[in-house]
């Protein structure tokens, strides 16, 4: 099943109820009313779009991810706090990707994780995905402008550092690290 099929199967009002429960419990009525308008507009737009099949074998995952910290002994300590990580998995390579900047028609052509849909429920799974799709905004043109701006920044950074010798930088970093260890041993 692809995401387009899932969005065609669920009722928007039930998905929106889950969105509010998951992400907007603290908001007032006025904000919820505005969110309803924004999400419903986006949801119905998505239902009327055609999915794009980009040749990638992608599956959308919704994973509960616990926050963590590192203690004084450098052990990882997991907390009780968590968030839902919506990401794509290339089913051929098993590589995970952040997908919030992907085009909406691409999302619609990707597989959903049937086990997660069954475990979470269609509306909850759809709510997590709709929230992630609109994380940057409710207008795909604005999202694409954000992507273009980010790409431009990356290109500017690459230009600024095009002559940077990473091997030399690594060597200098290693020397600094070794010298700091020597100083600690002397103390």
| 27-65 residue pLDDT tens | 999 999 999 999 999 999 999 999 998 777 899 999 988
With contact defined as beta carbons under 8 Å apart, do 2 and 111 qualify? yes
Verify that 121 and 177 share a domain, yes or no.
Answer: no
Q: Report if pTM > 0.75.
A: yes
Instruction: Read off the pLDDT of residues 118-140 as tens digits, 9 standing for 90 and up.
Output: 999 999 999 999 999 998 889 88
Mean pLDDT value of segment 70-82: 83
| Pairwise CA distance, residues 97 & 151, whole Å | 17
Total domains in the fold of the chain: 2
Verify that 133 and 182 share a domain, yes or no.
Answer: no
**Beta-bridge partner residues of 64:** 84
Of 42 and 81, more confident: 42
- The pLDDT of residue 54: 77
Verify that 162 and 95 share a domain, yes or no.
Answer: no
Verify that 97 and 13 share a domain, yes or no.
Answer: yes
Q: Which of 113, 138, 163 is the last residue of a domain?
A: 138
Return the closest-CA partner of residue 97 out of 89, 108, 107, 105: 89
Mean pLDDT value of segment 148-153: 88
| Pairwise CA distance, residues 51 & 77, whole Å | 41
Verify that 117 and 171 share a domain, yes or no.
Answer: no
Residue 161, phi then psi, degrees to nearest 5: -115, 20
Is the model's pLDDT at 169 over the cut of 80?
no
Q: State which residues form the domain around 57.
A: 3-138
Verify that 130 and 155 share a domain, yes or no.
Answer: no
Is the model's pLDDT at 163 over the cut of 80?
no
- The pLDDT of residue 117: 98
Is the model's pLDDT at 25 over the cut of 90?
yes
Verify that 7 and 46 share a domain, yes or no.
Answer: yes
What residues contact residue 83 under an 8 Å CB cut-off, 6+ apart?
Answer: 64, 65, 67
Verify that 168 and 88 share a domain, yes or no.
Answer: no
Q: What six digits make up the tokens of 39?
A: 């999400």
- The pLDDT of residue 72: 85
What residues contact residue 28 under an 8 Å CB cut-off, 6+ apart?
Answer: none
- DSSP class per residue in 87-112: EEEETTT--EE--TTS-HHHHHHSEE
Radius of gyration of the chain (CA): 22
- The pLDDT of residue 187: 56
Is the model's pLDDT at 185 over the cut of 60?
no
Verify that 83 and 154 share a domain, yes or no.
Answer: no
| Pairwise CA distance, residues 112 & 52, whole Å | 15
**Beta-bridge partner residues of 88:** 60, 97
Verify that 133 and 180 share a domain, yes or no.
Answer: no
Verify that 92 and 105 share a domain, yes or no.
Answer: yes
Verify that 48 and 96 share a domain, yes or no.
Answer: yes
């Amino acid at each position: 099943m692809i995401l387009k099929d899932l969005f065609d199967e669920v009722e928007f009002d039930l998905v929106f109820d889950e969105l509010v429960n998951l992400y907007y419990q603290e908001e007032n009525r006025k904000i919820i009313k505005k969110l309803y308008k924004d999400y419903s507009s986006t949801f119905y737009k998505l239902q009327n779009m055609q999915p794009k099949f980009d040749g990638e074998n992608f599956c959308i995952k919704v994973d509960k991810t616990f926050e963590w910290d590192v203690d004084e002994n450098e052990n990882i300590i997991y907390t009780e706090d968590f968030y839902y990580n919506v990401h794509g998995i290339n089913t051929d390579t098993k590589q995970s990707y952040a997908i919030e900047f992907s085009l909406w028609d691409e999302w619609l052509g990707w597989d959903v994780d049937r086990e997660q849909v069954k475990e979470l429920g269609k509306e909850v799974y759809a709510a997590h995905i709709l929230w992630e799709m609109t994380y940057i905004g409710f207008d795909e043109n604005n999202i694409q402008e954000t992507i273009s701006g980010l790409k431009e920044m990356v290109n500017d950074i690459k230009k600024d550092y095009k002559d940077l010798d990473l091997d030399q930088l690594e060597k200098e970093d290693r020397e600094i690290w070794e010298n700091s260890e020597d100083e600690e041993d002397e103390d």
